[in-house]
Amino acid sequence: METKVPLFGKTLSELQELVAGYKLPKFTAKQLADWLYKKEISSIDEMSNLSKKARELLNTHHTFGLIDPSDTKISTDGTKKYLFPTQHGKFIETAMIPFKDRKTVCVSSQVGCKMGCLFCMTGKQGFQGQLTAGEIVNQVRNIPEREDITNIVYMGMGEPFDNLDEVLKSVEILTSEWGFAMSPRRITVSSIGIIPGLIRFLNECEAHLAISLHTPFHEERQQLMPVQIAYPLEQIIEHIKEWDFSGQRRISFEYIVFGGLNDTPEHVKALINMLRGIKCRVNLIRFHPIPGTPLQGTDEETLQEFKDALNNKGILTTIRASRGLDIYAACGLLSTKALVNKPA
Amino acid sequence: MSTPPTELFKTTLTRHEEISPGVFVVGFIRKHDFIPGQAIKLGIDEINPPRIYSICSGNQDDELCVLFNIKEDGFLTPKLARMCAGDTVYVSPPYGTFFGTEHPAWWIATGTGIAPFRSMLASGMGQNKKLVHGVRHLNQFYFGNEFTDGLGENYFRCCSAKPMEGVLHGRVTPFLESRTDFSRDWKYYICGQASMAVEVRDLLISKGIPFANIITEIYF
């Protein structure tokens, strides 16, 4: 039996190719994009300006493609964590983080992760598969807060640059006039810095970039993040220095602060040297201990001193509020390991 | 060089050998020194992106070789598998910091993750080393004879599919879990797929090994 292909998640050019293949009028592609990304419908039958024949044809080979969350957890601070099944019987998590007048959605780009960072829950479940652009955008489109979303961050499960084709397609859908028409300045893609992906992302996408830095020292980063062996931070920084971030596009560096490990004055000094000449900001993140990790968080006083030391040297540094800690929605805590072998 | 080189140079394959079904060693004349454990980028043309492969040859060998298996849905390896000695490939100078040393160490690998340890062994780093290699099938103990000769009783083989004399039946992690001879001062090199690497790393940490002594190379 033919597996029906979801329409949701296709770019305009893919839709144009699709309608050409079905010998439908060219303008059908734009109509489809409107129905998929601009209107509140969830079935092909509701595409009322398409001919009956076109709808029948599409229904034969395709689904609309939206996937409902199968579970929702709500934190005492208002953060929500949605569990979505994927097309291939896996599960991913998405966090919706309300803060003041903003609602930020933290989307996943993969089921699990291959990168194996020592401090991350997602890494502990290994890698179970790539998400399609549709599955990524679905995390934005198919939550109750969709109308109020102000920001999207690719900081959920997975390494975006390890699934770059689909990530770029998803950003295209979110930012194109024919799509969700969001500003790329409302979107941040976070990566540990897979260099070929980094170069392509900077060339092909206008969204903000965040790099998981975590320590300026090679050996230490290698212990925390095995990717450092293949794509060292020094090389990542060299590439970033070739780009101009003085305009609206922003580069930020994520820095989880571990007590007694990367929170010393030597780290501050090395960071200042490393980031000299880059117009950037540093986000300090409190470490949320995960089972079996030898790492621990730093104390508040050290965290503040670390922040002040960087700010005093001209590096805009903030401490990210921990949100959704009680439902494991905070940074580094997303995981569907318990569901890896459960049918969706 | 420890950072990934951006420049690839053109060279000719001098070796192209299928050492096990679907698993190949390819090599070319070595033009650069390297530290055992390092990798190269290897591509088949100047257009498509190269992939990273650990070097599996010794640092004094005339040829520089890598080990790979065919990824059915991959772009590069099916094409690379069909090449022959004499064909042109594009390679980078060696790089990476998964450095082998003389320090006492456990080498822990699954599948083709054995490659850097073969390089270390062939470069004379076999003293005070214990190796555990986990595979699914018995014909996947690549370079098994060399490791047997070089490491003797410190070479442990785990096969998850079938038992065989001299081979432990099961995965690497239960084997490691059963060991009581891990020294906190030794180094622990792990090379292979992410899930195994993470699982083994967590296991070692739970046994009291400082994470500073665990060096992990994940095949992305």
Shared domain check, B86 and B152: no
Shared domain check, B52 and B111: no
Question: Residues 205..244 of A with a Cβ closer than 8 Å to B: which?
Answer: 218, 222-223, 226-232, 234-235
What contacts A131, CB < 8 A, 6 or more positions away?
A86, A92, A108, A109, A110, A111, A158, A163, A166
Shared domain check, B199 and B113: yes
Answer whether residue B98 is part of any domain: no
Q: How far is residue A213's CA from residue A191's CA, in Å, rounded to a whole number?
A: 9
Among A127, A229, A234, select the one facing B195 at the smallest CB separation: A127
Helix (H/G/I), strand (E/B), else coil: A152: strand
In terms of CATH architecture, what is A5-63?
Orthogonal Bundle (1.10)
Q: What is the pLDDT of residues A188-222, one digit of tens each?
A: 999 999 999 999 999 999 999 999 999 999 999 99
CA A225 and chain centroid, separation: 18
* Higher pLDDT, residue B73 or B123: B123
The number of domains in chain B is: 2
Answer whether residue B146 is part of any domain: yes
Which residue range forms the structural domain that includes residue B62? Answer: 9-91
Answer whether residue B4 is part of any domain: no
Query: Domain boundary at B46, B62, B91, which?
Result: B91
Q: Does pLDDT of A61 surpass 60?
A: yes
Shared domain check, B203 and B126: yes
* pTM of the shown model: 0.91
What is the sign, positive or negative, of the torsion defined by CA atoms of B79, B84, B88, B90? Answer: positive
CA–CA min distance B165, chain A (Å): 31
Cβ of A124 and B202 within 8 Å? yes
- The superfamily CATH assigns to domain A71-339 is Aldolase class I (3.20.20.70)
Shared domain check, B82 and B112: no
Active-site annotation holder among A117, A120, A205, A331? A331
CA–CA min distance A229, chain B (Å): 5
Question: Residues 290..309 of A with a Cβ closer than 8 Å to B: which?
Answer: 292-294
Taking CA–CA distances from B49, the nearest residue in chain A reads: A196
Shared domain check, B132 and B84: no
Q: What is the pLDDT of residues B197-208, one digit of tens each?
A: 999 999 999 999
Domain spans of chain A, in order of start: 5-63, 71-339
Q: What is the pLDDT of residues B176-201, one digit of tens each?
A: 999 999 999 999 999 999 889 999 99
CATH number at B52 reads 2.40.30.10
The proportion of chain B whose per-residue pLDDT surpasses 70, expressed as a percent, equals 97
What is the predicted pLDDT for the residue at A322?
A: 84
Judge whether B161 is closer than 8 Å to chain A, CB to CB: no
Q: Using DSSP bridges, classify how beta strands A151-154 and A102-106 pair: parallel, antiparallel or unpaired.
A: parallel
User: Do the Cβ atoms of B43 and B76 come closer than 8 Å?
Assistant: yes
Judge whether A162 is closer than 8 Å to chain B, CB to CB: yes
What is the predicted pLDDT for the residue at A246?
A: 84
Answer whether residue B71 is part of any domain: yes
Judge whether B212 is closer than 8 Å to chain A, CB to CB: yes
Shared domain check, B135 and B63: no
Judge whether B2 is closer than 8 Å to chain A, CB to CB: yes
Q: What is the pLDDT of residues A226-262, one digit of tens each?
A: 999 989 999 999 999 999 898 889 999 999 999 999 9
CA–CA min distance A237, chain B (Å): 12
Across the range A304-328, mean pLDDT stands at 93
Shared domain check, B157 and B80: no
Cβ of A294 and B97 within 8 Å? no
Q: Does pLDDT of A339 surpass 80?
A: no
In the structure, what pLDDT confidence band is assigned to residue A39 with cuts at 50, 70 and 90?
Answer: very high
Answer whether residue B82 is part of any domain: yes
What is the predicted pLDDT for the residue at A274?
A: 97
User: Do the Cβ atoms of A77 and A92 come closer than 8 Å?
Assistant: no
Shared domain check, B85 and B17: yes
User: Do the Cβ atoms of B49 and B14 come closer than 8 Å?
Assistant: no
Shared domain check, B74 and B18: yes
Least confident of A74-78, A322-326, B135-139, B163-167: A322-326
Shared domain check, B158 and B74: no
Q: Does pLDDT of B4 surpass 60?
A: no
Shared domain check, B79 and B115: no
